[in-house]
Amino acid sequence: MIYRFRHGIIGPLAIFWLIATVASVVTGTVAWSRFSHRLDASADPDQFRESINRLQQMTWVAGLLGVGAGLFALYFYRVDYYQERSRRELLEEKVQAEQSVLEKSAFLANMSHEIRSPMNAILGFSELLEPEGLTPKQSQYVRAIRDSGAALLQLINDILDLSKLEAGKLELHPDPTDMRDSCEFLRTVFGQQAMLKSLQLQFELAPDLPRALLLDRLRLRQVLVNLLGNAIKFTERGWVKTRVSWESQANGRSGILLVEVEDTGIGIPAAELEDVFKPFVQADSRRTAEKEGTGIGLTIVKRLTELMGGSLTVESEVGHGTTFHLRFADVPVSGRLPVGDHAEPGGAVDFNDFAPAVLLVVDDNRANRDLMAGIFEKTHHQVLFATNGQEALDHLKMARPDVVLLDIRMPVMDGRTTLAEIRKQASLVSLPVIAVTASSKAGEDMELQTQFSGYIRKPFSRHTLFLVLARFLQRASRGDPLEFQNLGETIKAPPISSPTQAAQWQELACELRRQEATEWPALRDSLAVNETRAFAHKLFLLGQAAQCGPLEAYAATLTTFADAYAIGQMETHLAAFPQMAAAIEASSARAQVEPTIEGK
């Protein structure tokens, strides 16, 4: 406001000053001319003329000073005017730049959606082809399709993340993170890749590292995946080592997390160390022309690290390797249990592990509907299809499915509107509705997860679909299952068909009693998710070895609750373990008694 007032008044004031000065000079000159004629003629003519000249000179000097001051004011007015115009132009350019960033982000998000939908069909159908009777060459072609599709998907994710970082739209979601679990994840992801290049993949973790740190686990994982991926890509011999250390602060509630990723690769010239963090730049691209990559991985790493309040430095020597140093200060130690951080395992999954169910798939893309039909083709499940939300509502009027898999972007009626219409019906309030979307808009993931019962992002694998459905579908019974309902109810033991099986179950019962006395009490008290998952895996292997279907089913359900972080259900399931062990023990004892009675 002050600037506008000054800018508006300085011009007219300068002009008024200039006119007033000229007028005063002219008026003074005329006045002195008239005054000189009225003076006494007896005065000394020389002295008179000298006085007149001196007065005229003083008048002209004053006038010139006034004119100069006016011109000086006009100059400042001109400078001030052009500065204001420049500031206005800069403001307009800033607004246009911000608008361009928003438009670019919207464009990239829309393009990501349009690319992800066909990518879902490409990756999905290639996955369905893998178990079929293909020749070695055909299997190689299918793997090439999947690998290339996964590489394209990673490129899309990197570009989207870079766009969100530039627009300041990327949000952090800290949760309890176990760095040991994260390192196991990295070992799983890069173990095969390192083995193919005969590289040693090493992890060193400090013994005083807390079990749970409050960090954005997924973003930290993204940083480490980029760093290790680069290290393995540019290392032909030797090793890639990850060191994790911890410096606790005085209060013990927080500390400094230090992570180093070191390799024995080709190294980076000193003059190019800073260039590696610039977008779309690779250090010494002539030497690494054969290495695939966009050059934005390290850019994302640096910006993500800074967004998380950390710092990233690098040191390298050509021919001897590179070390990246991550430093996160004031990292809180979490009092909650850490969430598991496991690589999504591949391999076959059997949807017949679930009890027969009816699924409603709502998607306007025919290829995606055909993919879902192919996934459930050889199962005992029934799959219904709809092309938009209105058709889905029509299906729900005739029959209620067990689960609805609902696309978000559809003609006629989109996914959100469809969900709102479903929830208006009292009989469908508890119906599980899973959002299936290819959208990548900032913040939409969290929004969909809070609105829908579940969330799947395209493209997805059969294993991803299996894990999500496991939260809503009942497990199929295997053999003659143990029946257990709530804590405190008895578990019925199934019959044993042969003496060999009776001996196996007797050994199994002894092992379960040992587990009940050693590992189970700690799990029951702590409810540690990762340890519970490991315990369930051990039980599953024991059940397989002893041909005990009920124990396998128990372990599989416990794994599902741990993967879904369903603490309440996991606690109830863990509490039933002594009953499970007692039922198996009673069944094996009964099998030993019955042959003795028959012998008498």
H or E segment and range at residue 412: none
Sequence-ordered strand ranges (E) for 132-178: 175-177
Residue indicated by tokens 């053999």: 479
**pTM, to two decimals:** 0.49
Residue indicated by tokens 């578990």: 491
- Determine how β-strand 382-386 pairs with β-strand 403-407: unpaired
Residue indicated by tokens 């690290």: 305
Query: Residue 534: which residues within 8 A CB-CB, separation 6 or more?
Result: none
Q: How far apart are CA 534 and CA 538, in angstroms?
A: 6
Query: Among 367, 365, 395, which residue's Cα sits nearest to residue 382?
Result: 395
Query: Residue 484: which residues within 8 A CB-CB, separation 6 or more?
Result: 490, 491, 576, 579, 580
Are 529 and 562 in contact, with CB atoms under 8 Å apart? yes
Q: How far apart are CA 349 and CA 561, in angstroms?
A: 17
Gyration radius (Cα) of the chain, Å: 39
Residue indicated by tokens 């999947």: 146
Q: How far apart are CA 336 and CA 314, in angstroms?
A: 33
Q: How far apart are CA 262 and CA 241, in angstroms?
A: 5
Quickly count: other Cβ atoms within 10 Å of residue 199's Cβ.
21
pLDDT of residue 461: 80
Q: How far apart are CA 391 and CA 319, in angstroms?
A: 63
Are 161 and 218 in contact, with CB atoms under 8 Å apart? no
**Tens digit of pLDDT per residue, the chain (600 long)?**
444 444 555 555 555 555 655 555 555 555 555 555 555 444 566 666 676 677 667 767 666 766 676 676 677 777 777 888 888 888 888 888 777 766 666 666 666 666 777 777 777 887 777 666 677 777 777 777 776 676 677 667 766 666 666 666 667 778 888 888 888 878 877 887 888 888 999 999 998 898 889 888 878 888 888 899 889 988 999 999 999 999 988 777 889 999 999 999 988 888 777 777 775 455 544 444 344 444 567 888 888 888 889 999 999 888 889 999 999 998 998 866 555 544 344 445 788 888 889 999 999 888 889 889 888 988 899 999 999 999 999 989 888 899 999 998 888 998 899 999 998 988 888 889 999 887 656 556 667 777 888 888 888 888 888 888 888 888 775 443 333 433 333 344 445 556 666 777 888 888 888 888 888 888 887 777 777 878 888 888 888 777 787 887 888 888 777 766 566 677 778 888 888 888 887 777 665 555 444 444
pLDDT of residue 110: 64
Alpha-carbon dihedral sign for residues 445, 448, 449, 454:
negative
Q: How far apart are CA 405 and CA 392, in angstroms?
A: 10
Are 403 and 357 in contact, with CB atoms under 8 Å apart? yes
What would you measure as the largest C-alpha separation in the chain, in angstroms?
172
Query: Among 459, 439, 18, which residue's Cα sits nearest to residue 449?
Result: 439
Quickly count: other Cβ atoms within 10 Å of residue 16's Cβ.
12
DSSP string, 282-318: -TTTTTTTTS---S-HHHHHHHHHHHTTEEEEEEEET
Residue indicated by tokens 């459905």: 469
Residue 433 pairs in a beta bridge with 404
DSSP conformation class of 73: H
Q: How far apart are CA 233 and CA 199, in angstroms?
A: 11
